[in-house]
């Protein structure tokens, strides 16, 4: 069904839904989506800040552990212990006793987070202030791999009495050979680490975990996940490192995962927050808003429907009157009323009155156009009658030249000869084709006359005389452009002409002849107007005698070249600045010329 055939009531309903309901719903959807994105971005930013803060606190904590245990690594008792012969039982027990009584108490004094210290020598013996022989045996096997890190977090484990500790080690360097001689094993209470993590709250069910450098959970709220590898999705996301967060799951199960890796410890803090916990208030507000909008739309629909019924009759009557106007009856008038429909009827009546007046004005205007056309023909006839016969001027110049020769005034004789050559050249049909060499020779007659006027005029020519004979052009194409440079480049600004240059370049289609002056140039807008007209002129415009932008010299040359040779031949303004102008003429080769 076409829109034009619908009733006004249906159109109003469509307009109501099209311009009110649909935009409102689209705006609401956009607002909801943007709100979701904003909440998600805020949650991500907050989680990132929490992860960075927790990693910073862990860095500070483990840095403090490093400082507290640093004296042990270089202590003479520890150095002797890692160098001892495994078979020397006496020295082993003596050093162990001295370490237990003299060294360890000073290190762990006032530190309730250090649960145990163990020293393992790569030669075989070990010392532990709390003897967990089973764990030390495990460490021995690990250290057989000869770890090169000075500090490393091994993971969470349970001691023999069920205490949960984080085990770290420090490498002991032999102070004589500077090679790894053993390891210092430090068991740290898990409470200090969990206190740092528990400072943050991420919703009701959000969790925070710590991932070790080997891609396994160092800590997780669910102890069953300790030492378990990360899910494959998490590992791939962490490895890509495109952004420090990603989303996992879809719909109601969608979770925002944010992670932050410490450069100092290599630990990665991971937070997982269900998106639904962040959206509960927004969903409630959305549902409330949606109900209010549906109610508002229903009321508006009823109001518009009743209003449309009240105006249908009046509009139908006006529509019938308009049909009579379409049939040509301009004498009818709509009834007047005191409401908005009455204003519409008054406008309809005024329109008919204006229409009658415009018809009369168009009739008068048509008569005036015919009268103007007659006047234009008469003006052109007068212009043709006022032209000077060039043959009369040519004969007169011959007489002047004879008197100049008799009087032996050579400059006057040369000027009259060149001027005579110019008139003789211009007498022929300007639409005849000639070689560019002949056209340049004619142009030089004009240049030489100007040099007699301006002795300081510099003429800079870079042309290949032989190639000019192969170029096809029309009479009077170069000289008008050169004359234009003198008039509009210099004389219009009261400047003395000082330079005229001619350059030619060749390609497969013909020649590009550039006429160069050092005058004031044209305004950029005027340059754009000329170039646009040169590029887009129609054949009808080419046939017109007058230029669409004022002067006729350049327009005449361009239109004659374009009509004769077609595109891309004609004029173009290459450059026009305050220091000069370059006008380019494109002309073809002769038909018999091969390039």
Boundary-marking domain end, from 293, 325, 357: 325
pLDDT in tens, 19-47: 667 777 777 777 777 777 777 777 778 77
**What pLDDT does residue 540 have?**
59
Q: Is the domain of 173 the same as that of 45?
A: yes
Question: In this predicted model, which residue has the larger pLDDT, 546 or 272?
Answer: 272
Mean pLDDT of 416-426: 70
**What pLDDT does residue 375 have?**
63
Q: Note whether residue 199 is domain-resident.
A: no
Exposure on the CB side of residue 199, measured as CA atoms within 13 A:
14
Question: In this predicted model, which residue has the larger pLDDT, 287 or 589?
Answer: 589
Cβ(437)–Cβ(478) below 8 Å: no
Q: Domains in the chain: how many in total?
A: 2
Q: Is the domain of 453 the same as that of 309?
A: no
Question: In this predicted model, which residue has the larger pLDDT, 107 or 380?
Answer: 107
Q: Is the domain of 4 the same as that of 153?
A: yes
Q: Is the domain of 463 the same as that of 576?
A: yes
pLDDT in tens, 84-109: 877 777 877 888 788 877 777 777 66
Question: In this predicted model, which residue has the larger pLDDT, 248 or 281?
Answer: 248
For 424, other C-beta atoms within 10 Å of its C-beta total 15
Q: Note whether residue 44 is domain-resident.
A: yes
Give me the phi and psi of 588, to 5 degrees please: -90, 170
pLDDT in tens, 206-216: 788 888 888 88
Q: Note whether residue 213 is domain-resident.
A: no
Q: Note whether residue 437 is domain-resident.
A: yes
**What pLDDT does residue 113 have?**
80
Radius of gyration of the chain (CA): 50
**What pLDDT does residue 575 have?**
93
**What pLDDT does residue 428 have?**
61
Residue partners of 352: CB distance under 8 A and separation at least 6: 325, 330, 332, 333
Question: In this predicted model, which residue has the larger pLDDT, 494 or 129?
Answer: 494
**What pLDDT does residue 512 have?**
93
Question: In this predicted model, which residue has the larger pLDDT, 159 or 521?
Answer: 521
Boundaries of domain holding 21? 1-188+279-325
Band (pLDDT 50/70/90 cuts) for residue 388 is very low
pLDDT in tens, 425-451: 666 655 578 889 888 988 888 888 888
Boundary-marking domain end, from 296, 325, 354: 325
Question: In this predicted model, which residue has the larger pLDDT, 415 or 8?
Answer: 415
Q: Note whether residue 72 is domain-resident.
A: yes
Band (pLDDT 50/70/90 cuts) for residue 180 is confident
pLDDT in tens, 119-178: 887 776 655 544 344 455 666 556 655 566 778 887 887 776 777 888 888 888 888 888
Q: What percent of the chain has pLDDT over 70?
A: 77
CA distance linking residue 308 with residue 315, whole number of Å: 10
Q: Is the domain of 290 the same as that of 163?
A: yes
Q: Note whether residue 398 is domain-resident.
A: no
For residue 461, what is the domain's CATH number?
3.30.565.10
pLDDT in tens, 261-296: 888 888 888 888 887 776 666 667 766 777 777 787
**What pLDDT does residue 169 have?**
82
Mapped onto helix, strand or coil, the DSSP state of residue 168 is: strand
Burial 154-173 (b: 16+ CB within 10 A, else e): bbbbeeeeeebbbbbbbbbb
pLDDT in tens, 460-480: 999 888 888 888 888 888 988
Q: Note whether residue 70 is domain-resident.
A: yes
Q: Is the domain of 441 the same as that of 292?
A: no
Residue partners of 365: CB distance under 8 A and separation at least 6: none
Q: Is the domain of 5 the same as that of 151?
A: yes
Mean pLDDT of 232-261: 77
Average pLDDT, the chain: 77
CA distance linking residue 317 with residue 333, whole number of Å: 11
Q: Note whether residue 377 is domain-resident.
A: no
Statement: residue 391 has pLDDT above 60: no
Mean pLDDT of 72-82: 83
Sign of CA dihedral 380, 384, 385, 388: positive
Of 186-200, 411-425, 506-520, which range is least confident? 411-425
Peptide bond into 70 cis (omega under 30): no
Q: What percent of the chain has pLDDT over 90?
A: 7
Boundary-marking domain end, from 271, 303, 325: 325
Statement: residue 308 has pLDDT above 60: yes
Mean pLDDT of 328-356: 80
For 553, other C-beta atoms within 10 Å of its C-beta total 16
**What pLDDT does residue 582 have?**
95
**What pLDDT does residue 384 have?**
43
Angle at alpha carbon of residue 256, lines to 253 and 258, rounded to 5°: 150
């Amino acid at each position: 069904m076409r829109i034009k055939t619908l009733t006004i009531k249906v159109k109003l309903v469509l307009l109501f839904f099209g311009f009110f309901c649909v935009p409102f719903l689209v705006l609401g959807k956009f607002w909801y989506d943007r709100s979701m994105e904003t909440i998600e971005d805020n949650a991500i930013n907050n989680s990132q800040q929490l992860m960075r803060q927790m990693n910073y606190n862990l860095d500070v904590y483990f840095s403090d552990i490093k400082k507290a245990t640093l004296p042990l690594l270089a202590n003479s008792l520890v150095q002797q212990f890692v160098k001892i012969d495994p078979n020397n039982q006496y020295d082993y027990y003596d050093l162990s006793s001295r370490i237990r009584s003299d060294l360890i108490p000073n290190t762990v004094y006032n530190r309730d987070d250090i649960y145990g210290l163990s020293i393992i020598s790569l030669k075989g013996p070990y010392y532990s202030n709390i003897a967990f022989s089973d764990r030390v045996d495990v460490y021995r096997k690990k250290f057989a791999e000869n770890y090169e890190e000075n500090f490393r977090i091994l993971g969470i484990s349970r001691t023999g009495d069920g205490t949960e500790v984080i085990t770290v080690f420090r490498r002991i360097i032999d102070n004589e050979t500077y090679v790894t001689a053993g390891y210092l094993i430090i068991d740290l209470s898990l409470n200090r680490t969990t206190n740092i993590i528990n400072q943050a709250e991420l919703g009701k069910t959000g969790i925070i975990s710590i991932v070790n450098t080997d891609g396994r959970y160092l800590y997780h709220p669910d102890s069953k996940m300790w030492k378990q590898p990360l899910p494959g999705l998490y590992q791939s996301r962490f490895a890509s490192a495109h952004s420090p967060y990603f989303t996992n799951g879809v719909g109601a199960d969608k979770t925002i995962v944010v992670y932050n890796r410490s450069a100092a410890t290599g630990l990665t803090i991971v937070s997982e927050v269900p998106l639904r916990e962040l959206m509960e208030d927004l969903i409630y507000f959305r549902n409330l808003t949606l109900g209010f909008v549906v109610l508002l739309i229903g009321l508006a629909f009823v109001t518009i429907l009743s209003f449309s019924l009240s105006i249908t009759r009046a509009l139908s009557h006006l529509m019938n009157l308009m049909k009579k106007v379409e049939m040509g009856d301009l004498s009818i008038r709509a009834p007047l009323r005191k409401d908005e429909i009455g204003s519409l009827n008054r406008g309809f009546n005024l329109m008919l009155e204006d229409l009658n007046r415009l018809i009369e004005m168009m009739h008068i205007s048509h008569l005036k156009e015919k009268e103007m056309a007659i006047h234009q023909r008469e003006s052109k006839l007068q212009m043709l009658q006022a032209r000077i016969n060039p043959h009369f001027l040519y004969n007169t110049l011959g007489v002047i030249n004879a008197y100049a020769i008799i009087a032996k005034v050579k400059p006057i004789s040369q000027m009259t000869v060149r001027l005579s050559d110019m008139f003789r050249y211009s007498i022929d049909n300007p639409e005849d084709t000639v070689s560019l060499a002949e056209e340049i020779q004619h142009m030089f007659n004009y240049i030489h006359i100007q040099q007699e006027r301006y002795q300081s005029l510099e003429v800079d020519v870079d042309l290949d005389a032989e190639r000019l004979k192969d170029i096809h052009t029309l009479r009077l194409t170069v000289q008008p452009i050169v004359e234009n440079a003198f008039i509009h480049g210099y004389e219009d600004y009261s400047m003395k002409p000082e330079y005229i240059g001619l350059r030619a370049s060749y390609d497969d289609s013909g020649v590009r002849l550039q006429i160069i002056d050092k005058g004031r140039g044209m305004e950029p807008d005027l340059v754009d107007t000329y170039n646009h007209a040169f590029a887009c002129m129609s054949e009808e415009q080419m046939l017109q005698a007058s230029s669409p932008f004022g002067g006729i010299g350049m327009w005449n040359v361009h239109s004659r070249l374009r009509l004769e040779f077609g595109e891309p031949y004609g004029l173009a303004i290459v450059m026009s600045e305050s220091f000069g102008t370059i006008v380019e003429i494109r002309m073809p080769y002769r038909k018999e010329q091969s390039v």
